[in-house]
Amino acid sequence: MNWKHLLSVTLLAAWPGNAMVMADNVMNGPAIKAAAPVRPAPTVRASTNVALPRGQAMPALWLLADKDTKIWLFGTVHVLPENLRWQGRVLVKAMDESQELVLELSPDAMKGGALGASMLELGVSNGLPPIRGRVPADKQEALGRMIGQSGVPEQVFDRLESWAAGLTLVGVQFRQLGLSQGHGVEDVLTARFERARKPISGLETPAQQLGYFDGLGEDSQRMFLASMLEDPAALRGDFDKMIAAWARGDEQAIVASFDEEAGLSEELRDVLMRKRNARWADWLAKRLDKPGTVMVAVGAGHLAGPDSVQTLLNTRGLTTKRVQ
């Protein structure tokens, strides 16, 4: 599994549809950042060659509970082929009985240009090297093609920090996979809880999520940027494997995918996974003090492996039970 898949199970709940907001801000200046219109992500139907599991998908679901509190822990994928069936009986029951939903980012946090403003503040700098000089020579042609497909002028990319340039190219990768926003797990959960008029909150803010990247060293940022430039055919195969592992609730396959990435940048893995998992485990432990039933849905990679949220809860004397 490669970096874009790490992103798809961690930080992409908000990003792809907002790249053009950021570009407007960079080109036109900070005075318009609060008023920059949100341009919707291009709508692309799932391509016919997506390798979908047959029948009903059964992604993993856990329960953390005490005498008066139930917390459903659900691992998500932020973008999915639109025709994948994943809402089985057990999961629907958990959603329906939950009184609130907690995501990585709340829907309200992404309204009003907040994400574009955060990108402007954190992701744009003067005096940077040209973007093409920040990737290996054998990747520069691919970078030029992807910039052309992004709809963002190359002079804008020259002003983006390397991590921000990489995030801007994520939307291009999604289009290459035949994916669009609106079919991810968070989209479905949000719509369901909004229809039921149940509250939805977030564990983090857009500024916090983007800040994880902004704090990376330049070597890790450039490694991340270069990873966006891989062959679409290879990307397709990796994406299909990741979706299949999630759909069958295969923790070991998810863990194996992340283990393949460990040698790329220990810094990025630590910032995006380990430290966030520790903060979320603390939040969950404290949430048990409040009676009620809540569903917490975060990227599936956070709920698998030796650094998972469940493992960290166990070190605090709290046990989770897998129910699907």
Q: Residue 181 has what pLDDT?
A: 66
User: Which position has the higher pLDDT, 305 or 136?
Assistant: 136
How far, in Å, CA of 106 to CA of 186, rounded? 10
Q: Residue 50 has what pLDDT?
A: 44
Q: Residue 258 has what pLDDT?
A: 59
CA-only gyration radius of the chain, Å? 19
Q: What is the mean pLDDT of the chain?
A: 81
pLDDT digit string, tens, across residues 237-258: 777 888 888 999 998 888 776 5
For the whole model, what pTM was predicted? 0.83
- Percentage above 70 pLDDT, the chain: 79
| Whether the predicted pLDDT of 301 surpasses 90 | no
- Percentage above 90 pLDDT, the chain: 48
User: CB atoms < 10 A from the CB of 256, how many?
Assistant: 15
Q: Residue 7 has what pLDDT?
A: 44
According to the per-residue pLDDT averaged within each range, which of 22-26, 102-106, 195-199 is highest?
A: 195-199
Kindly tell me the burial class for residue 231, based on how many C-beta atoms sit within 10 Å of its own C-beta (0-12, 13-18, 19 or more). Answer: exposed
pLDDT digit string, tens, across residues 269-291: 788 888 999 999 999 999 999 99
Q: Residue 54 has what pLDDT?
A: 61
